[in-house]
Amino acid sequence: MPVDELRYDKMVEEALRGVVRDALTLAAEQGLPGDHHFYVTFRTHQSGVVLPDHVKARHPDEMTIVLQHQYWDLEVNHDQFSVTLSFSGKSERLVIPFDAVTGFADPSAKFGLQFQAIPGDGDDGDEEYGDDDGDEPAPPPDAAAPKPDADGDGKVVTLDRFRKK
């Protein structure tokens, strides 16, 4: 089947999801070094996402999880990652496909990525931020992509310039 156009937006998006995959793989294999910790924001309604019903009821569209001190059994493969987190004192297993991830940040490195819905990918673009278990406040919507500091050395990558208008 001939290709009508090269979808650079999708290519760049997949390459940047590889950064998230690599960071999570290192954390799964070696733990988080130093002060590194991750905020991962994802669409809870995306196909392939596995969440306990009570969590999905609280976060029907999107939520942010924090991987820092209390996470267990982080497993990463090419298409998704899974992790056990505590919700109201109960351990629960989450499965999150990488294509459901809308934001990734490592505040200790002043690094963040935001992923937007690409037209034609079947996403409705709903955005609603939540926390992982009510014990810690949710980061603000811009926490998934920290703003550069006064020195301008914050590293934020957005894909808007590559998208068709």
Q: Which domains does the chain have, with CATH numbers?
A: 8-159 (2.30.30.220)
pLDDT tens-digit map of 66-112? 999 889 999 999 999 999 999 888 999 999 999 999 999 999 999 99
Contact 115/102 with Cβ under 8 angstroms? yes
3-state secondary structure of 43: strand
Give the Cα separation of 2 and 117 in Å (integer): 24
Across 3-25, b (16+ Cβ under 10 Å) vs e yields: eeeeeebeeebeebbeebbebbe
pLDDT the model gives residue 121: 52
Residues with pLDDT less than 70, the chain:
1, 117-165
Q: In angstroms, what CA-CA distances link 86 with 47, 50, 65?
A: 23, 15, 11
Please name which of 21, 113, 18, 132 lies closest in space to residue 67, comparing C-alpha atoms. 132
3-state secondary structure of 94: strand
Q: Measure the CA angle with vertex 144, ends 118 and 63; round to 5°.
A: 80
Q: Name the one residue in this structure whose structure tokens are 């009570």.
A: 54
Please name which of 139, 13, 12 lies closest in space to residue 67, comparing C-alpha atoms. 139
pLDDT the model gives residue 144: 40
pLDDT the model gives residue 148: 39
pTM of the model: 0.70
pLDDT the model gives residue 44: 95
